[in-house]
Chain A
Amino acid sequence: MDISHAKLVCEACFLGVASEGMTPAVNPTVQGVGVGRKVVHSIATDELALQVFVDRKLHERFVPPEHWIPDEIEGVPTDVVETGVFSIGRRFPPIYQRRVRPAPAGVSIGHYQVSAGTFGALVRHGGDVSILSNNHVLANEGKAQAGDPILQPGTYDGGRVDRDTIAHLADAVKLEAEATNLADAAIATPVVKDDVAPEILHIGRVRGDAEPEIGLAVRKSGRTTRVTSGRVSATDVTLRVGYPDGFLVFADQFLIRGDPDRFSGPGDSGSLIVDAGNRAVGLLFAGSPFVTVANRWSNVAKALGVKPIS
């Protein structure tokens, strides 16, 4: 008895795999074949058997004769094993890219004409509670109007105006092409107060604020790379940053290097950067495969007149 030959016969008869001298056929209930130990009364014996994997194992009365699996093939006994249908795991997006209510900071958000960025934090703006992120996430780089719908998740993650509007654009720090910028920041007012949560996903509540110092250990929770850690590598930074319409110059920024891996990726824009004590130190807005660039928290807070909610 040749088990590998028997397996070829199985593959030809059930799965339609062409082999020399055999006519391929398909048994639609068969999902695969393999070789294992023959199981008798739930106990594996020393005898080898052909395992025939079926989506559902049924009493033979319910199996049409053309789908029957013979007790043996080419002298090799068979075992019918119920496996269900194999698939390459249907992609189910992580919570960061899904619609979440109440939405914690860290998840996907964006103006209805923007792909997607990150809901950075809930902040206090006068007597109101507002969603903080970047201008280029919430205000479409200045092309948006106050009152425009802000979606959670962002459009890139399937957000739709009719269903997923979580807030309306309230205010944005203007981005200047001819002068230096301090912040790429904007705020939006939630439609329903209870649809947003003050916690940053997997980081928790913000506890006040602090200045970025070289070497400071920081973290962020963002739409694309989720929770990452890194260290402040440079402060007092003036830098040209690429935008779709050209370079903008930012001053008084700081740089972060990821530790151990990348700190950020596209879609993480708007993430709040916090230190080990969850104090707000900056607003993430730009980067490259080597570094991440952030606005100093104090500049963001001053430009928009906001405070972190602790």
Chain B
Amino acid sequence: MSIEDVRRRHEARLMGIPDVVGVGIGQTAGGRVIQVFVKEITKGVREKVPAVLDGFPTEIVRVGDVRRL
């Protein structure tokens, strides 16, 4: 499965976690990761977002309060 497929497969579940506002694909020094976007990084989010999804690492990313500009 590609990272795009894995992201899509877990999207609904990840976005159901309180404080999670989105998911996407990003890049770290180690390669591509599934980014989980949150308004603020909380203990609850850290506990509920798995570190690895179907072999691809996740990264919790604080995006703040995203509004139309």
A306 to chain B, nearest CB (A): 21
Judge whether A240 and B68 touch: CB under 8 Å. no
Is there a chain B Cβ closer than 8 Å to A214's Cβ? yes
Q: What number of A residues sit within 8 Å (CB to CB) of B?
A: 36
Judge whether A293 and B66 touch: CB under 8 Å. yes
Judge whether B63 and A242 touch: CB under 8 Å. no
Judge whether B64 and A288 touch: CB under 8 Å. yes
| Complex interface bits, A93-118 against B, C-beta within 8 A gives 1, otherwise 0 | 00000000000000000000000010
A266: B residues at CB distance < 8 A? 69
Is there a chain B Cβ closer than 8 Å to A287's Cβ? yes
8 Å CB contact of A240 from B21, B35, B69:
B21
Is there a chain B Cβ closer than 8 Å to A236's Cβ? yes
8 Å CB contact of A236 from B15, B25, B62:
B25
A251 to chain B, nearest CB (A): 9
Size range of the interface on B? 20 to 34
Judge whether A241 and B66 touch: CB under 8 Å. yes
In chain A between 227 and 243, which residues have their CB closer than 8 angstroms to a CB of chain B? 233-243
Judge whether B37 and A239 touch: CB under 8 Å. yes
Q: Which of B25, B63, B68 has the most CB of A within 10 A?
A: B68
Which residue of the partner chain B has the closest CB to A141? B68
Is there a chain A Cβ closer than 8 Å to B22's Cβ? yes
Is there a chain B Cβ closer than 8 Å to A206's Cβ? no
* Chain B, interface SS category: strand
A136: B residues at CB distance < 8 A? 68
B58 to chain A, nearest CB (A): 13
Complex: A241 Cα to B39 Cα, angstroms: 11
Complex: A269 Cα to B22 Cα, angstroms: 20
Which residue of the partner chain B has the closest CB to A264? B69
Is there a chain B Cβ closer than 8 Å to A289's Cβ? yes
Judge whether B65 and A288 touch: CB under 8 Å. yes
Judge whether A239 and B69 touch: CB under 8 Å. no
Is there a chain A Cβ closer than 8 Å to B54's Cβ? no
Judge whether B69 and A268 touch: CB under 8 Å. yes
Judge whether B69 and A287 touch: CB under 8 Å. yes
Is there a chain B Cβ closer than 8 Å to A267's Cβ? yes
B21: A residues at CB distance < 8 A? 239-240
Judge whether A291 and B22 touch: CB under 8 Å. no
Q: A215-B27, A264-B69, A286-B69 are in contact. Are A240 and B64 (CB under 8 A)?
A: no
Is there a chain A Cβ closer than 8 Å to B24's Cβ? yes
Judge whether B68 and A238 touch: CB under 8 Å. no
Judge whether B22 and A242 touch: CB under 8 Å. no
8 Å CB contact of A288 from B7, B35, B63:
B63
Complex: A237 Cα to B25 Cα, angstroms: 7
Judge whether A269 and B25 touch: CB under 8 Å. no
